[in-house]
Structure 1
Amino acid sequence: MRLNHLDLHSPVVAETAAFFIDHLGFMAVETRGKDAFYRLTDEAGMVLVISPPIARLGGGDQVSLGLQTYHVGFLLPERVQVEDAYRRILPTGIRMTDPEERHGAYVFYMVVPGNILVEIGHRPDT
């Protein structure tokens, strides 16, 4: 079995997709309406879908529902790239932690538009 895609629910689909495109290097492959659906991909072929919350499942996002048990994590090949990403994203004004050593990696966390928790890090052994 192979992971096909990851679908993140956001109440602000276009804004969330724009953040992944503008700051994390994703490209839009398909869109359906302004806030209906975005299919994104990165240079490694990762498919990331951004779609609206499903009403029958509570209609909320992970942070406001208190579901901070999951996040989306990205690894960079060099530690300095984590610092570069942090400095590049910091002026956007989103909530971010400072980069730190944590669980064998050098990481920072941020809550991107749509209240999605994202980790950017470098792990020396990968």
Structure 2
Amino acid sequence: MASFVPNESNSTLNGQQKVMYAKNSSGEFNRVNYGSSAEEFATLNAVNEYKELENEALIEIKNSISSPIKYFMYKNRMDLPTLCGFVNMFGFRVKRHLKMKYFLKLDDKILEKYAKAFDITLLELKSFKND
């Protein structure tokens, strides 16, 4: 029995296609192009959710609640566990750094880890303002 692999358009792939391996009618695995409107929908929802979180972080930064780390985390489409992995720190510690009052006390060595994770300069991270 041949496997069904959807081959629908997906605007999130910018014209490229994914490849999947599926069995043909002889039971052998073949490479087939793959595209899914359901996957496109899920991707667009995730991107929009990160945009909303990014905007919420900007408001919180303006009100001195959250730190720029929170904004850049969402801007780079990271969640807390992903960021923890990049900076090699425990979650409870990174969570504290997302708050402005703790961010202001961080030394350059720690801030440099975050800047590297976000592919920005230390100065960009330290001087980020949401005016």
TM-score, structure 2 as length reference: 0.24
Higher RCO (C-alpha 8 Å, min separation 6): 1
Question: Whose Rg is larger?
Answer: 2
